[in-house]
Amino acid sequence: MRKPAVLRDTPMDDAEIAARAAWLHYAGGMTQSAIAERFGIPVTRAHRMIARAAKDGLVRVFVDASVAGCIALEERLAARFGLHACTVAPDLGETGAMPLRALGLAAASLLMAILEQGSHRVIGVGHGATMAAMVAMLPSRAAPDVQFVSILGGLTRKFAANPYDVIHKLAERTGAEAFLMPAPMFANSPADKQVLLAQAGLAEIMRTIDAATVCILGVGAVDMDGSIARANVFDAETSLRALRARGARAEVLGQFLDASGALMSTPYDNRVMAPDLFALKGREVWAVAGGPTKAAALSAALKSGVFTGLITDEATARRLVGDADGLTPEADAIAS
């Protein structure tokens, strides 16, 4: 397994080291010796830093540790994309294609805050790997007055993180009512979509989606390795590869955006079993996404003006602000 880079050359004061060490220990499950190696400090100092974080009240069920570098990234991303709120999850040293533990912890913390606030009666959720990670990290908390609704169809055995699993686990952990959209991601034809929507059950789901005042959604990259590609839901004549060649950079709710955030017209427009993406404007809408392949997709999605909040990881946040500054190699990929 590749060892995480030592962070000893990055200037950080003791408070920031304590915050990061607490996050890595309590959220990331890293040992004190591993944390010491990561920061290039003695194990005894790592122990003191973690103890300091606990003493200062940073450690709760979640690590309430505001890392200074992440705060700066949050402020820059919020200003650039006109967001009401932004959370940048500190790096946990994950080596997979997506930092699912970091994203899942941050998204679960958001969902807990929404439930505790108690101002949203209906919560819309997407599906995919990040939504599954969010629910996996969510502790049990009774929320009998809340309803969850799956905001996109996707019942196919090849679809990664089936929406049934996300909705079922939300109901299990909160005791809330949870509604699944019992439909495929794309109907076979526009006429088939209308037939499906005429069914009493689906009509009720769409009304519930209309009542959702907050939505938490994943953002798909238009590439050949993502979960949407593996789902095998596309027509042979209009493949994901063909959509990318036409300029598609992000997929949200089965709808495609170009690099500027504008909605693209595709043969799937009148077949997708989801509300119109831009009909969500005016609600609280969170994007949860991260990883090396997601910067271009997130840039496009956030430029659409649909999203009011963002949860991403530290490395992806740096790619996004690097695009603004022209400082990183990823900038060309994001802008293309």
Which residue has tokens 């650039």? Answer: 80
Residue 175: predicted pLDDT: 95
Give the rounded distance of the alpha carbon of 136 from its chain centre.
Answer: 13
CATH number at residue 312: 3.40.50.1360
Domain extent for 30: 1-65
Residue 40: predicted pLDDT: 86
Same domain, 180 and 154: yes
Same domain, 168 and 30: no
Tokens of 182: 């019992």
Same domain, 225 and 302: yes
Same domain, 141 and 248: yes
- Residue that is last in its domain, among 40, 65, 90: 65
- Residue that is last in its domain, among 19, 41, 65: 65
Same domain, 136 and 9: no
d(CA 297, CA 319): 12
Same domain, 30 and 156: no
Same domain, 218 and 242: yes
332 closest CA partner among 288, 304, 299: 299
Same domain, 103 and 195: yes
Same domain, 226 and 323: yes
CATH number at residue 2: 1.10.10.10
d(CA 238, CA 143): 42
d(CA 212, CA 282): 11
Same domain, 182 and 329: yes
Residue 62: count of CB within 10 angstroms of its CB = 17
Rounded alpha-carbon distances, angstroms, from residue 35 to 65, 118, 127? 16, 37, 33
Taking the chain (336 residues) in consecutive chunks of 10 residues, what is each chunk's mean pLDDT?
46 78 84 89 91 77 62 93 95 86 94 93 93 91 94 65 76 93 90 94 94 96 63 66 90 95 93 95 97 93 97 95 56 40
Domain count, the chain: 2
Tokens of 243: 């959509």
Residue 273: predicted pLDDT: 93
Same domain, 78 and 55: no
- Residue that is last in its domain, among 12, 33, 65: 65
Same domain, 15 and 126: no
Instruction: Provide the phi-psi class of 265: left if phi over 0, else alpha when psi is between -120 and 50, else beta.
Output: beta
- Burial grade of 237 (CB within 10 A; 0-12, 13-18, 19 or more): exposed
